[in-house]
Amino acid sequence: MDYSIDQTYEYGQTALENALFRVNHFTQLKVMYDANYLEFKQNPTLSLFIKSEEVLKQFHLERGQTHLKFFFPENNQIDTILEEYLKQNRYQLDRTELYVRRPVPWISNEKPPQLMIKKVTHSTPIANDYLDLQYRFCLTFGQEYALGKTALMKEQINNPSYAILLAYWNEIPIGFIHGISIDESTFELDNFQIDESYQRKGIGTHLQAALFQEFPKQTAILLADGQDSPKEMYKKQGYQFQSFMYEALKE
């Protein structure tokens, strides 16, 4: 079975659409860039990009948004002329990659005695620990984003399609991972974060192993930054590269 980036979980809804693109808008969290964007259905020429750029700029200005985020078609390279335009106009150009892991058993070292992994459920001390950590991690992107993302994740704790696992090291909450059931055969691994002070201790591997137990018969998909080192870790853990997509952001 082939997997596509289109299968990944998405917040918001289509607000504008034509043969060239669609605009996704998430009213609840307007500063969540990956939920407020323009997605091209086919590679645009430079002139069509500039026209689309103006559409998104006007759409966002009317709603008090200042960023511009574009997704380009999956498995398509960006035209060199357009790439030069993006660079000259101070866009950050990134490549996102889709990885897939079949539901096969995990082989990992024995879990350290300092490490505990607990499932987050509503209205419990564990949920409060998770939300506090989520807020702290999100503060890097500003208080508005941190407050909005934490409120959004509080809602998702009750979502039956979600599984959220929280890692403790010596009873201190230090990381979490989300699993989102996409369909009967697929789940998405998302929002995977560990405090930098506790990385390289095997915590990430044990979190993933625990998450796979929540979805024992489903294939995992995840999105990774094409420039980041964690994707090498994913390959070693049995994930296989599936596809790529370019995206451009101007803040």
**Mean per-residue pLDDT, 5-13:** 94
Per-residue model confidence (pLDDT) at position 229: 59
Per-residue model confidence (pLDDT) at position 230: 67
Which residue in this structure is represented by tokens 């069509």? Answer: 48
Tell me the residue length of the chain.
Answer: 251
**Mean per-residue pLDDT, 36-47:** 97
Q: What pLDDT digit, counting tens, does each position of 166-199 carry?
A: 999 999 999 999 999 999 999 999 999 999 988 8
What confidence tier does 126 reach under pLDDT thresholds 50, 70, 90? very high
Write down the mean pLDDT value for the chain. 93
Which helix (H) or strand (E) segment holds residue 24: the answer is strand 21-25
Q: For domain 5-98, which architecture applies?
A: 3-Layer(aba) Sandwich (3.40)
Per-residue model confidence (pLDDT) at position 111: 84
Q: Range(s) for CATH 3.40.630.30 in the chain?
A: 5-98, 115-217
DSSP state of 78: P
Rg of the chain (C-alpha set): 19
| Token pair of 188 as six digits | 């998405």
What is the pTM (predicted TM-score) of this model? 0.91
Per CATH, domain 115-217 is 3.40.50.150: no
